[in-house]
Structure 1
């Protein structure tokens, strides 16, 4: 089976975050005949690490991709479409896995004489949990890479182009769930109860004002209200419960903290003012992915003959790869997936197979460059 066929098989059998058991098994089945020095499973849950070289001399390089799919119903009709109802690979993780599989094929034929390469197939990227779980795993803590790299395909950009910058490459984000609870009343006598309606109306304008309130200079710091629930179709009852779902997004982690603090303070203020019970929870929490200058220089040097574009702006979406670049010298780059490719998370998106060869070639060049330079001082 070649890597394109592997990609299509993975595409047919998508799995959600923390449930990628079958995906991991298919990868192990594909990679075992390549006879890497080690295959380690169960990292951070369902993660898989494939290792080439012993690391006795030279640098240790880690390349990372993602295992998980999304809870999106696929509308494509090709023969390898998802066979799992309501789940599909709409972020291209099937393609990212195929890229690392192609890198493994190369090093199976070109064995390392120095250095060590770790190909990490990471679970649960979509929920922001996977990188943390991997890094907390005692097995992964033994890897201690000198360099870490990842890529993400980027529709609407020229096919095969590299998009890279120093500093924030993917924004921080978090989903915030706000619950306000009062007391029901007859709709004819709302004053006998305690509805959260006024508090909701006072809270919603805050989200548009957040960038100004923290004096943010970034166009990538903002809030998006993704859902509001207040009462139900019961015309005789004044409601007692409300829920607000909002996504906070920021180019910088320190600004994200300030956004969270302002939202928390305002919710508490309104809850006290209107005598409401409240709760504030967060899900899908992502720190910003911050590229190291040295790692960006490695990418631009290694890919000097490739179409590399230094972009002034980060991608607005989030990636949990930032957990790795907090600890190790590393960088994530965008890989153009073509101007006509549907956007990420669109129901008709499909990873372009031609990027498998392109992405693996770029990763191999970056890896070889790392093996020929001095590891960073720790």
Structure 2
């Protein structure tokens, strides 16, 4: 053991013993080992955590809808479809980048037991979590339903089946149930066609046939405002009669300017108790709208739609009248005309007359033009 006792000399004297003590190696200082231990434990945990977070992001939030240059895709789920059908549709049309991750999450969320039919928009930024939420909540995208003018119930039924899930048979059955129509809408099997006003509507793709009629009836009620009802009353017409007359006007011309004039002609004839003698009603009766010229033999057909035989309006519309035609009847032009016929030259406009003699001159002019076309052919 080294000793360092001081001498009595005024200066420090180092003995060989002191030198030995100074030259001896110092005992090692204990190193701090906890950073290594911490790193050895945490690093694997961080790696595993990172892998887990990446996996969760990939399954839950990573955009999984396949992009397309044609825009967002749509998934149609029919009433009664199974989850397997939905999965096959997603795979067949390659709507998802990774169908397997969607399937994995869907099964764990119980989606196969909570399937909801409809038309769903698949935006490109949707991950599985957001997509499943949309499907399970039934957040459908509506359809722009274009209702075109139609003359017969089967034509309406075909429009329905072409654009919505509902089948045409269901609609045709409902349109021919008189008691049900009267109780629910206050119309018969003929007047029910007045509920359908041509135009564009936003509907759910899986709207049922009854839901479709309900929607059209609601639009019909919105059209018939208090102002329009008062106008109909002033003409001594019911809303249904306005629809019937508007359907005739619509078949007579496509020219917006002529519609109020033609409506005025028919209203003048109704007030005087004259037969309408409307060719479109006769064509409806014989079931041929392709006839360009009505013949005398056609006027003999036995039908309540033959306005050459029967006074007043026919029992129902001959086509679905649009808003323009309806408003033309509700706001007719004021004049004394009782006759009109198509103008020569094929402009689509009409010549109007207050007397039969004037009308015959206009009709001859039009007939000569038609004959000239036949000669040229």
TM-score of the superposed pair, with normalisation by structure 2? 0.21
TM-score of the superposed pair, with normalisation by structure 1? 0.21
Higher strand share: 1
Which protein, 1 or 2, shows the higher relative CO under an 8 Å CA cutoff with sep ≥ 6?
A: 1
Higher helix share: 2
